[in-house]
């Protein structure tokens, strides 16, 4: 069964460093998302991406965050200068955009970011 894959599974970084989290969405999906979950808290929406541009973003997704689809398969989340409060599990998700289906999201297993 096709799945969303994410790398790295865990990254430890120093405050102020740049981090790039990578995702390979399901191959025929057209919509891509990043969510995050701070330990013990809710799953929070960050950004959605379609047709090579951001379609929606939350208040969390400020100028320190950016997303990119550098090639036909990868979808990345970059945090330019990490803060302690960026420590969280980051989930990538994708959804189909054509044909049958109602837009349900398929999530990856997550990348745990620890900022020291």
Partner 1 sequence: DAKTTQPPSMDCAEGRAANLPCNHSTISGNEYVYWYRQIHSQGPQYIIHGLKNNETNEMASLIITEDRKSSTLILPHATLRDTAVYYCIVRANNYGQNFVFGPGTRLSVLP
For partner 1, which residue of 21, 48, 77, 82 counts as binding (CB under 8 A)? Answer: 48
Per CB under 8 A, which region of 10-18, 36-44, 61-69, 71-79 contacts partner 1? 36-44
**Residue among 25, 14, 32 nearest 79 (CA):** 14
For partner 1, which residue of 50, 60, 64, 66 counts as binding (CB under 8 A)? Answer: 50
HSE toward the beta carbon, residue 12, CA cutoff 13 A: 1
For partner 1, which residue of 1, 42, 52, 70 counts as binding (CB under 8 A)? Answer: 42
**102 forms part of the interface with partner 1 (CB under 8 A):** yes
Q: Among the residues of the chain, which ranges form H helices?
A: none
**30 forms part of the interface with partner 1 (CB under 8 A):** yes
For the chain, the first-to-last Cα distance in angstroms comes to: 37
């Amino acid at each position: 069964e096709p799945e969303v894959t994410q790398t790295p599974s865990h990254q430890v970084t120093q405050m102020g460093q740049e981090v790039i989290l990578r995702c390979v969405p399901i191959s025929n999906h057209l919509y891509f998302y990043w969510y995050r979950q701070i330990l013990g808290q809710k799953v929070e929406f960050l950004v959605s991406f379609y047709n090579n541009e951001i379609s929606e973003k939350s208040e969390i997704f400020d100028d320190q965050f950016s997303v990119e689809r550098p090639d036909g398969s990868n979808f990345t989340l970059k945090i330019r200068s990490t803060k302690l409060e960026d420590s969280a599990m980051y989930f990538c998700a994708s959804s189909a955009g054509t044909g049958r289906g109602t837009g349900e999201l398929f999530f990856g297993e997550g990348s745990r970011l620890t900022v020291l």
